[in-house]
Amino acid sequence: MDVDGPMSWPRWWKVVILLNVSFYSFMGNFYAAGVTPLFQYIVVDLNCTVEEASWLASYTVLTLGLSNLATDFITYHIGIRQAILSTMALFTGAIIWSAAAQSYGSLMASRLVGGLAGGIIEALGPLIVTQIFPVEELGRALVVYMAFLAAGSTIGPVITGFIASGTGSWRWCFGIMAIATGVNLISTVLMLPETSSMRPPQDTTHAETIDDDKVTQKTIEHAESSDISTAHRQREIWLCRSFFWRYHSPRPNQTWYKLFLEPFKMLLVPPVLLCVLMYGWTVGCSTVSSIVFSAAYAAPPHLWDAQQIGLISLAALVALIIGSPIGGNLADYLTMRASRRNGVHTPEGRLVLVGLSFLVAPTGLILIGLAISKNLSWVAIALGLGMLAFAVSTASSILLNYCVDCFAEHSGQIGVLVNVMKNVLGTILSFFAVDWYLERGTFKIPPASQKFQDWPQFSGFMKPCRFEGDIQNLEVIGTIPKEIHGTFYRVMPDPALPPYIDNDPWFNGDGSVSAFYINDGVCDYKQRYVQTEKFQKERSARKALMGKYRNKYTDAIEFQIRTTSNTNVVYHNGKLLACKEDGLPYAMDPLTLETIGYWDFEGQVQSMTFTAHPKFDPTTKEMVCFGYEARGDGTPDICYYVADAKGKITETVWLWFRSPNAFPGHLSNAYENEQGSIIVDLPMCDKNAFFWWPDKHGRAPKPEEITTHMKRFIIDPKSNDMELPVPELLLAKQGEFPRIDDRVAMRDYSHVFLNVFDPTLPMNIPAIAPVMGGGGPLFNAIGHFNVKTREYSHFFPGPTSLVQEPIFFPRSSQAPEGDGYVMVLVNQYETMASDLAIIDTVDMSNPVAIVKLPVRLRPGLHGNWVDASDMDK
């Protein structure tokens, strides 16, 4: 052995080299796998799909593996040290680029560069270990290296999940990675000399090249001098091997294609082939298991978030810690014992442990499969993932140790083969695992049905309407006042196709917009579906494709935009905006009701969601709006916007929001009084009004148990008490969907019109109950309430009718507050058709006109009146 070669260096130095190289391998896999919890943030920030975000991980894993193929070529020309330092510098720059990327394409490019730079160390790691550690320490050193390599993809998602949750930004994750890699680079510059002991060609004697004879000669001279210490000799070795300008390989005249093909010759050696296949199989199974587990446990009934999914990786980390001494110390001990017994070095001594691990890995796979298919405890998943990780740290590591022990001069080529197989197989599986699981696994998309299920919410008056069309000159009973000129728009959730999984009557139905255009006493009617992504894809497929509300994991295909735009329709800046709380609105032409497209205010709105209940300043025509869960499902952010009359966003605020559970109803009005207090009027419900969605314990109130009353909060903004005050009861009658004169929005007001349920009014329940369907609200009157005088009157449509949400518009722009007309759709259960009642607020008891529809309109949520004078502006 060369007395000054890497084998003779001090143990502490070799350990530092091992830790530097191992940490670099850790960071490469951390960079590749750590992006997975960040998908929801990247989708929002860079406007890409979830599938595109997943490619950021898959392609990085692929480039990590393929870069190994260039290892021989690079080290042949510049040596091991320079190869590591140059790629580590490039890797650090790529991470910084990732942190600063402003587009999806830029982020993808940075990660491809990072993968190509960060993957070469995976082939050089085993080579360096064999160069600096003797046989009796080889197993332990390789297990340390392999543990770091595996830990990168194991705990990387845990770390990034916590960083992103704590900072609210995916960019900080890459920033912290860059800092860690930068420190690693500095340490490697200082502590990693050239480990190769190869001699330059005989005719090369340049002083700046690596020359082992020169180092040896210097050492002999130094040894003869009593004043030169061992530390000084090591300093000379460090300087000579660390700082040189040219590197000469002892393998002259090697062409690039020979260097490329050199590793593949080792596949003809049976132990190497077995090692490559075993390593690729165990790591590939770990990859596919993690991907399928993430998809399965993010879906019902588990609904795990990103942090919970990331934390399960700790089970694999524990298994790596347990398995490392077995694959390292114990394997080394068995090798040395066999060598002593046989009198010759016997690397086969460690192979006795491989058989046990071959049994552990398949058992872990079976356990994971059973746990997912039978919805077993997460402990079973953790145990299964741990068993796979244990196999990686024992069987795979032992086989790799055996190969590099037997073929030390080819350890670099063996590392290339192992890592190419591991990463390429992992990439292939990551592309197909979830699709395969959804198609063949435990979650099956039910077969498409052409018939709506026999559920109450899809029967009687709640039966889906499923039509589009125009009707001119609707029949009118009474006289529509000539002064009424404008359009009443409303939207209803109306499933165009039978759903295959969800059964709620409100949230997943396709948005269908009605327009009642009134002029000169005549009413024309138009009905159109909002052409959402869901509606278009399902109509093309002729079957339902979307699963549960706000649960993308139950969809038959991936949707970029899941909203159905079925909650409200408002007019702003020449467009109708069909809104729903779980996405941005779709814009529609107010005259034709043709869909313009998904509307992000020409790129100004960055939130993923938009309120279905925007408010308008009556003077400036500004639209005050917000989006909750603004960065994606489950995020705590609320993004508040103000858009001027021309659609320009003038103010944007991001808030981190927490609030106790409550069930407030729709806002009546809110304003600041003369004393500086904030007045908030709204219905308050004492129970879960969405009774069709039980709580996590399966509890849900019966519809008849739910009560909701108009209440007033008086909030002192100067108070130090952060608790809301006890509200004042305004109206004891059960009511919802309050509407006011919009000219006094956000100002002191008097009049409110709302749906009420009045049990004192006569109702023919035997006639209504069999045909009303399920899920529809039981409101039998429209109330007119003065919040100042507490005067109350109502419109009652009759004992076999119920009412939908009312709207109010003034008689003229100069009319006093509350002087005008109320419009409301009336459900006529005797005829199973809908009427549009027009009521003069001077006398709420009798409508001035009833517009008869020859069709039935399913109960909707919200609508608005747009005066012709406003539409012309």
SS3 of residue 294 by DSSP: helix
Q: Which of 325, 401, 333 is nearest to 129 (CA)?
A: 401
Rounded to whole angstroms, the Cα distance separating 491 from 499 reads: 19
> Cβ distance 247 to 210 under 8 Å?
yes
Confidence category of residue 657, pLDDT binned at 50, 70, 90: very low
Rounded to whole angstroms, the Cα distance separating 457 from 499 reads: 12
Q: pLDDT of 2-15, one tens digit each?
A: 556 778 888 898 89
3-state SS of 743-798 is HHCCCCCCEEEEEEECCCCCCCHHHHCCCCCCCCCCCCEEEEEECCCCCEEEECCC
Q: Which of 711-720, 738-747, 765-774 has the highest mean pLDDT?
A: 738-747
Q: Which residues contact 872 (CB under 8 A, 6 or more apart)?
A: none
Type of residue found at 326: I
Cis status, amide bond into 694, omega within 30 of 0: no
Across 644-654, average pLDDT: 78
Indicate whether 555 pLDDT > 50.
Answer: yes
pLDDT at residue 437, rounded to an integer: 63
Mean of per-residue pLDDT scores for the chain:
83
The contacts found for 293-299 with CB under 8 angstroms, 24 or more apart, are: 293/368, 293/372, 293/381, 293/385, 294/36, 295/434, 295/437, 295/438, 295/553, 296/372, 296/437, 296/441, 296/442, 296/443, 297/378, 297/381, 298/553, 299/443, 299/551, 299/553, 299/554
Got the DSSP string for 677-697? PEEEEEEEESS-S-TTS--TT
Indicate whether 261 pLDDT > 50.
Answer: yes
Find out whether 77 is annotated in a ligand binding site.
no
Indicate whether 327 pLDDT > 70.
Answer: yes
Task: Answer yes or no: CATH 1.20.1250.20 is held by domain 6-198+249-440.
Answer: yes
Confidence category of residue 779, pLDDT binned at 50, 70, 90: very high
Q: Which two tokens stand for residue 265?
A: 């010759």
Confidence category of residue 533, pLDDT binned at 50, 70, 90: very high
- Least confident among 100-109, 364-373, 821-830: 364-373
Q: Which two tokens stand for residue 361?
A: 């890995």
Confidence category of residue 611, pLDDT binned at 50, 70, 90: very high
pLDDT at residue 440, rounded to an integer: 55
Got the DSSP string for 406-457? HTGGGHHHHHHHHHHHHHHHHHHHHHHHHHHHHHHSS--PPPP-SS--S-GG
Q: pLDDT of 335-362, one tens digit each?
A: 788 778 877 777 777 777 777 667 888 8
Which DSSP symbol is given to 664? B
β-strands 615-616, 833-840 pairing: unpaired
Rounded to whole angstroms, the Cα distance separating 613 from 529 reads: 20
The proportion of the chain whose per-residue pLDDT surpasses 90, expressed as a percent, equals: 39
Q: Which residues contact 813 (CB under 8 A, 6 or more apart)?
A: none
Return the domain boundaries, the chain.
6-198+249-440, 201-248, 456-530+640-871
Confidence category of residue 752, pLDDT binned at 50, 70, 90: very high
Find out whether 862 is annotated in a ligand binding site.
yes
pLDDT at residue 735, rounded to an integer: 93
pLDDT at residue 307, rounded to an integer: 66
The proportion of the chain whose per-residue pLDDT surpasses 70, expressed as a percent, equals: 85
Largest CA distance in the chain: 121
> Cβ distance 806 to 755 under 8 Å?
yes
Rounded to whole angstroms, the Cα distance separating 656 from 439 reads: 39
Indicate whether 227 pLDDT > 80.
Answer: no
> Cβ distance 815 to 754 under 8 Å?
no
Confidence category of residue 770, pLDDT binned at 50, 70, 90: very high
pLDDT at residue 349, rounded to an integer: 74
> Cβ distance 822 to 528 under 8 Å?
no
Rounded to whole angstroms, the Cα distance separating 463 from 804 reads: 16
Across 364-373, average pLDDT: 84
Q: pLDDT of 150-172, one tens digit each?
A: 778 778 888 887 888 778 788 99
pLDDT at residue 667, rounded to an integer: 93
Rounded to whole angstroms, the Cα distance separating 34 from 7 reads: 35
Q: Which residues contact 93 (CB under 8 A, 6 or more apart)?
A: none
Confidence category of residue 218, pLDDT binned at 50, 70, 90: very low
Q: pLDDT of 22-63, one tens digit each?
A: 999 999 989 988 887 787 678 778 877 766 787 888 888 888
Indicate whether 225 pLDDT > 70.
Answer: no
Q: Which of 575, 585, 622, 576 is nearest to 607 (CA)?
A: 585
Indicate whether 615 pLDDT > 60.
Answer: yes
Q: pLDDT of 401-450, one tens digit each?
A: 778 778 877 766 777 777 777 777 767 766 666 556 655 555 555 566 77
H helix or E strand, kind and range, residue 834: strand 833-840
> Cβ distance 402 to 347 under 8 Å?
yes
Rounded to whole angstroms, the Cα distance separating 662 from 659 reads: 8
Q: Which of 613, 582, 510, 594 is nearest to 863 (CA)?
A: 613
625: which strand partners? 641
pLDDT at residue 204, rounded to an integer: 40
Find out whether 751 is annotated in a ligand binding site.
no
Indicate whether 656 pLDDT > 80.
Answer: no
Q: pLDDT of 784-827, one tens digit each?
A: 999 999 999 999 999 999 999 999 999 999 999 999 999 999 99
Q: How many CA atoms lie within 13 A of 81 on its CB side?
A: 25
Indicate whether 659 pLDDT > 50.
Answer: no
Rounded to whole angstroms, the Cα distance separating 701 from 87 reads: 62
Indicate whether 489 pLDDT > 70.
Answer: yes
Count of residues making up the chain: 873
Confidence category of residue 523, pLDDT binned at 50, 70, 90: very high
Q: Which residues of 448-459 are buried (b: 16+ CB within 10 A; e: fewer)?
A: eeeebeeeebbb
Rounded to whole angstroms, the Cα distance separating 707 from 703 reads: 9
Q: pLDDT of 64-77, one tens digit each?
A: 888 878 877 787 77
